[in-house]
């Protein structure tokens, strides 16, 4: 990016009577779960903010809570050529109607369709927020198609913001975009963590689930899917029970119907297990983190896992994998443990180590919260975004960015 001093320049297109308009678009309404602080900070900075996604309660709730305008536009998450064509023309028409000064699209489908439509409509500031690489969970022809789509999306944007350092490294290795187009703000994350909401303290969750005091609780938070490593986690939990028969597994999340959905047999096994507590969707996850002795995210791919940051802010040590994005969310042997993806044995070994050494859990939990406060406090992360976007909207900055035409 141009000299950082330019970031503090006044935004030429933001006048008191006509604030600059930023359109933030995602594919599915569930992504709105991680947009709140970002939207709020942009609005409070004086931007007119439009939030676009497929229809859903989370879109309605997020737009209302953060005081931004909402746009419902159906977009399929999976491959659907005819539906995608319809969505593209709707996006093209919508962008022409609102004429935003800047667009920020993220998630694969909205990123692809949205950045192309914005480029064709002449929007000069086009940001692709790279939250993860879906292609890492694919192979063969599907992987090639997803890779081509990522490259086309990046080509259609003039800035690609990466959610973590390892995600930027992977995007470079895959030649998704040249290095000068790939940017990382701070140490990563798109939203940061509300460190007051996610903080250590008592929780009513154990009592509500009838978990006795002293019983070890292993937690998970997120979508219950294959790519999140649920099959390996369930297999590892059976081995954990052989060593710690009283242990409980607390799954804070929902069975997502995406392409990596769990098969019916595993879902039934989870729901019937006497020592697995499955909450379904939870609006406020903070009390659930406080009920955990440790959290495990055995994911195969990430951008930068918010669940790990939230658990860490709550003072909970985390076991996660060396996968892209996930490995940035833990300081190994300091705030938690890193293991290879796909190995139930590694999950079992890491969990037993932490369960049998409470002093180590306490040390890691305390270090994790300090680390989050230093690098990932919500105000810091979204503040970096606001300043960066002000810089992009300055004509002198935009003029030197690659692909700005």
Write out pLDDT tens, residues 264-322: 999 999 999 999 999 999 989 999 999 999 999 999 999 999 999 999 999 999 999 99
At 79 the pLDDT is 81
Enter the pTM of the model. 0.89
Q: What is the pLDDT of residue 395?
A: 61
> Are the C-beta atoms of residues 73 and 90 closer than 8 Å to each other?
yes
Question: 67 is written with which tokens?
Answer: 């005081």
Instruction: Judge contact between 37 and 194, C-beta under 8 A.
Output: yes
Across 194-254, the runs of DSSP E, i.e. the strands, are: 217-221, 248-252
Q: Which among 124, 125, 127 has a CA at the least distance from the CA of 105?
A: 127
Q: Which two tokens stand for residue 37?
A: 């602080």
Among the ranges given (9-23, 92-106, 256-270, 299-313), the one the predictor scored with the smallest mean pLDDT? 9-23
What integer best gives the mean pLDDT of the chain?
Answer: 92
User: pLDDT band at 78, cuts 50/70/90?
Assistant: confident
CA distances from 70 to 25, 54, 308 (A): 10, 10, 29
Instruction: Give CA–CA dist 394/290, Å, rounded.
Output: 44
Dihedral over alpha carbons 306, 311, 313, 316 (to 10 degrees): -150
Mean local confidence (pLDDT), 209-226 = 96
Q: How confident is the model over 349-403, as pLDDT tens digits?
A: 999 999 999 999 999 999 999 999 999 999 999 999 999 999 999 864 455 555 5
Residues 6+ apart with CB under 8 A from 351: 218, 236, 240, 294, 296, 319
Q: What is the mean pLDDT of residues 29-36?
A: 93
| Lowest-confidence pick of 46-60, 81-95, 131-145 | 131-145
Share of the chain above pLDDT 90, in %: 88
Residue 28: pLDDT band (50, 70, 90) is very high
What number of residues does the chain have? 405
Higher-pLDDT residue of 183, 16: 183
Could you tell me the domains of the chain? 4-191+378-398 (3.40.50.2000), 205-375 (3.40.50.2000)
Question: Parallel, antiparallel, or unpaired for β 102-106 and 21-25?
Answer: parallel
Tokens in use for 104?
């920020």
């Amino acid at each position: 990016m141009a000299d950082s001093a330019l970031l503090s320049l006044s935004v030429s297109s933001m006048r008191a009577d006509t604030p600059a308009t930023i359109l933030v678009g995602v594919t599915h309404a569930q992504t709105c779960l991680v947009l709140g602080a970002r939207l709020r900070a942009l609005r409070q900075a004086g931007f007119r903010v439009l939030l676009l996604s497929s229809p859903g309660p989370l879109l309605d709730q997020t737009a209302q809570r953060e005081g931004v305008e909402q746009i419902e536009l159906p977009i399929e998450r999976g491959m659907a050529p005819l539906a995608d064509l319809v969505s593209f023309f709707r996006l093209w028409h919508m962008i022409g109607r609102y004429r935003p000064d800047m667009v920020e699209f993220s998630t694969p489908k909205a990123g692809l369709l949205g950045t192309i439509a914005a480029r064709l409509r002449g929007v000069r500031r086009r940001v692709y927020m790279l939250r993860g690489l879906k292609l890492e969970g694919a192979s063969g022809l599907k992987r090639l198609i997803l890779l081509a789509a990522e490259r086309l999306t990046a080509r259609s944007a003039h800035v690609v913001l990466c959610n973590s350092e390892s995600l930027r490294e992977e995007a470079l290795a895959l030649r998704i975009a040249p290095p000068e187009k790939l940017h990382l703000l701070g140490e990563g994350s798109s939203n940061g963590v509300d460190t007051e909401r996610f903080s250590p303290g008592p929780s009513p969750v154990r009592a509500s689930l009838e978990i006795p005091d002293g019983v070890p609780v292993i937690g998970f938070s997120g979508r219950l899917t294959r790519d999140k490593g649920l099959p390996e986690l369930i297999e590892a939990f059976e081995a954990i029970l052989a060593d710690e028969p009283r242990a409980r597994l607390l799954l804070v999340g929902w069975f997502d119907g995406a392409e990596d959905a769990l098969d019916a047999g595993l879902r039934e096994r989870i729901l019937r297990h006497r020592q697995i507590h499955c909450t379904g969707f939870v609006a406020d996850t903070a009390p659930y983190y406080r009920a955990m002795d440790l959290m495990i995210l055995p994911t195969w791919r990430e951008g930068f896992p918010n669940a790990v940051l939230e658990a860490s802010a709550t003072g909970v040590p985390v076991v996660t994998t060396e996968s892209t994005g996930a490995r940035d969310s833990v300081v190994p042997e300091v705030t938690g443990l890193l293991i290879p993806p796909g190995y139930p044995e590694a999950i079992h070994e890491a969990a037993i180590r932490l369960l049998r050494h409470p002093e180590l859990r306490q040390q890691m939990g305390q270090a994790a919260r300090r680390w989050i406060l230093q690098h990932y406090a919500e105000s810091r992360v979204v503040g970096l975004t606001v300043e960066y976007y002000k810089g992009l909207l300055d004509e002198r900055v935009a003029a030197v960015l690659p692909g700005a035409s």
